[in-house]
Amino acid sequence: MEFSFPPHQIAVNMPNAASLLGEVKTRFRDGRGFALATINLDHLVKLARDPAFRATYAAQDLVCADGNPIVWLSKLARRPVSLVPGSDMVLPLASLAAREGISVALMGSTDQALAEAAAALQAQVPGLEIACRIAPPMGFDATGLAAQEILQQIEASGARLCFIALGAPKQEQFAALGRQVTPAVGFASIGAGLDFLAGRQQRAPEWVRKIAMEWLWRMLSNPKRLAKRYLDCALILPGQAVQAWRQRAVIGRD
């Protein structure tokens, strides 16, 4: 499944959780890093509006589908992918790291939230080593000198996997910079994943997620902040559906 934002083509190249974990395992063993992004409709809105974000996203090695609309678009394009939300992959990735003897860094949020997330992770993933926890200051520039210094700190800690909880576009920007500065480290952009683990944000109940209504649950929980975002997402969906249909037509000709 591809999304076209000239001059870039953004491909969902990790079709399911198993393929993602397999690729990460291979990279752990080969000493290669990665930048993992989980694409959703909000990201598509930002990609359509921001050329810098398009370049940042094109620098992500691994991209999976975070949101049912992305899954639906992939089926329309006859290039189906499974739902792989970033917040759902924190524990599987941490478990893989523990089995492979890879230590982990936590980046983003606040000192207290990171401490609580670290405790929750280590309680659920026996043997997981958390090498460092870094909460950047307000106004943090994910592409500047402070970001480079944090990357050097992560590398010095020995961590080979870094969970980034900064939100888009900062987390993807930090991951893209990390691919240049610390190429042996894997960066996973997970949004609110650490806050969910720490219990600081409440995720939609499982039954709500199963009926693909998590977006509505979230909007009703904070309409002032999220209503405009979801309206923008709804407005971009028809154009993306046309793009998906064109991909379907190409497959039909092939």
* pLDDT tens-digit map of 40-76: 999 999 999 999 999 999 999 999 999 899 999 999 9
Mean pLDDT for the stretch of residues 189-196: 88
Give domain limits for the chain: 2-253
3-state SS class at 245: helix
pTM: 0.91
Q: How far apart are CA 175 and CA 60, in angstroms?
A: 8
- Give the ranges where the chain is alpha helix by DSSP (H): 17-30, 41-49, 51-58, 68-76, 90-100, 111-124, 145-157, 170-181, 193-198, 206-210, 214-221, 223-253
pLDDT of residue 195: 86
Mean pLDDT for the stretch of residues 108-112: 90
pLDDT of residue 4: 86
pLDDT of residue 158: 97
Query: With left for phi above 0 and alpha for psi between -120 and 50, is residue 112 left, alpha or beta?
Result: alpha
